[in-house]
Amino acid sequence: MDTGVIILIIVVVVVLIPVIWAIATYNGFVRLRNLVQEAWRQIDVELHRRYDLIPNLLDTVKGFAAHERAVFDEVTQARAAAATPGASPAEQARQEDALSGALGRLFAVAEAYPQLRSVESFVALQNELTNTEDRIAAGRRFYNANVRELNTKVESFPPNIIANRFNFHRAEYFESNDPVVRAAPRVSFQDTQGQVGVYGTPPAQVQGQPQVTDAGGPSHGGQPGGFQPGQGGGQPGYPQQPGQGGGYPPQG
């Protein structure tokens, strides 16, 4: 083969390989950016569904606890702030934390009225809010996973060359910053007689044993009383139902 042809082939290969890599990397950034945007739109839909449920929930609770004006005003103001468009994911997460806290206080008020918990419309709204918060928590996880992948690629070498050249930037996570939401719950493994770590043993054999607790992992970002976010989950989080410790000696 002619030497000139060989040199031409080498030159073409040397030029084509970087070009092909650059095109593939650019397209990869576009795909990740679109995934992040799509995931955020899914969260936004569920957030607005949550906002739509809150006024009806407030009206139902007001029918039984009209004097709890401060709590109602707090929920209304937090909802208005969270529903204001234009917030970044990080700002939205902070607003959702405030709304989740206000909703948690609203449900605490509702707990003081047993007759309210038997109202069908209230129970239906509470269940729908919980389901919405579960979907938000799932959307939060999906969104944050895509953000992590995009941010890793933006910061890695050599893809960061393409990122800098074509203005691909890091995306913000949507995660709870509320220390109450992020706190690890304490789980106590004791039965109704106060026995810890021993099942089916007569009380006389376990007297004086210290109580043992186990710190659970952080809850999904979330949503007290409802997102809540999760609720950050994410979710942004919502508080999970507390587990019930109890004696359950193994059956024979």
pLDDT greater than 50 at residue 191:
no
Give residue 217's pLDDT band: very low, low, confident or very high (50, 70, 90).
Answer: very low
pLDDT of residue 2: 78
Mean pLDDT of the chain: 76
Mean pLDDT (whole number) for 114-136: 90
Range in 80-84, 115-119, 123-127, 177-181 the model is least confident about: 177-181
Range in 57-66, 106-115, 153-162, 181-190 the model is least confident about: 181-190
Residue 2 φ then ψ, to 5°: -60, 140
Mean pLDDT (whole number) for 126-133: 92
d(CA 106, CA 202): 43
pLDDT of residue 95: 93
pLDDT of residue 211: 43
Domain spans, the chain: 13-165
pLDDT greater than 50 at residue 209:
no
Burial label, 140 (beta-carbon count in 10 A; 0-12, 13-18, 19+) = buried
Mean pLDDT (whole number) for 225-234: 37
pLDDT greater than 50 at residue 45:
yes
pLDDT of residue 177: 64
Residue 14 φ then ψ, to 5°: -60, -35
The strand pairing partners of 214, in sequence order, are 187
pLDDT greater than 70 at residue 218:
no
Percentage of the chain beyond pLDDT 70 is 69
pLDDT of residue 116: 85
pLDDT of residue 1: 65
pLDDT greater than 80 at residue 176:
no
Range in 84-88, 104-108, 205-209 the model is least confident about: 205-209
Helix (H, G, I), strand (E, B) or coil at 213: strand
Mean pLDDT (whole number) for 15-29: 93
Question: Helix, strand, coil: what percent of the chain each, to 5?
Answer: 60, 5, 35
pLDDT of residue 213: 40
| b/e per residue 41-68 (b: at least 16 CB within 10 A) | ebbeebbeebeebbeebbebbeebbeeb
Is 1.20.1440.20 the CATH number for 13-165? yes
